[in-house]
Amino acid sequence: MKRDIAIAGDGPEQNPDVELLDAFWQQAIKAVPEIARDHQVRSIGIDEETTDLIIEFIKTGEKIGTYSLPWLMEAEGHPKAMPDTPIILVSYDGIPKVVVQITSVYETTFGEISLNETLLDGPPVRDLDVWIPLHTEYWNGLLSKHNRACTADMPVLVEKFKFIYAAK
């Protein structure tokens, strides 16, 4: 099984401990054998506190989707997630916490993001007046090293997922 570590930004741990990932993945596929396939590893959130909060929203089913930028994926050599792709989400310091599985992916543009998309996110950021500035700041930070910035026509992948497994 191929593993793609797709962690963006300067804050989160870029190189999670492979032994921890392997042990966690083995526990996850023992509990849910049908996820045993190529998978990704990602970090989610802007700092340790928000990452922990987001992981809790995922566990409780309050967050059921995430968003990726094709511009970043292409620049950093990460494949697009496809339906059925399992994703190990790690804490800000690189500890594996949960597995989600992509159920559907569609592309829109940043300027077309609506409540339909933001309702997939955690409760504190669903309002467009919160979601748009938060993601603009976050994504501009990631895009700047590639000489890009958020624009209305920037492609955004909306990745719906289901919660699969949590660390014991």
Give 7-34 pLDDT, tens digit per residue: 776 665 677 889 999 999 999 999 999 9
Q: 28-39, pLDDT tens digit by residue?
A: 999 999 999 999
CA–CA gap between residue 150 and residue 3 (Å, rounded)? 28
CATH 3.30.710.10 correct for 3-163: no
d(CA 93, CA 19): 15
pTM of the model: 0.92
User: Domain boundaries in the chain?
Assistant: 3-163
- Smallest CA-to-CA distance from 118 within 58, 66, 81 is with 66
Query: CA dist 40 to 70, 112, 137, Å?
Result: 15, 27, 24
Q: What is the C-alpha to C-alpha distance for residues 59 and 53, in angstroms, rounded to an integer?
A: 10
pLDDT in tens, 66-81: 999 999 999 999 888 8
Other beta carbons less than 10 A from residue 1's beta carbon:
10
Contacts of 167 (CB under 8 A, 6+ apart): 24, 27, 95, 96, 97, 98
Using alpha carbons, select from 162, 32, 160, 38 the residue that is nearest to residue 100. Answer: 162
**6 pLDDT exceeds 90?**
no
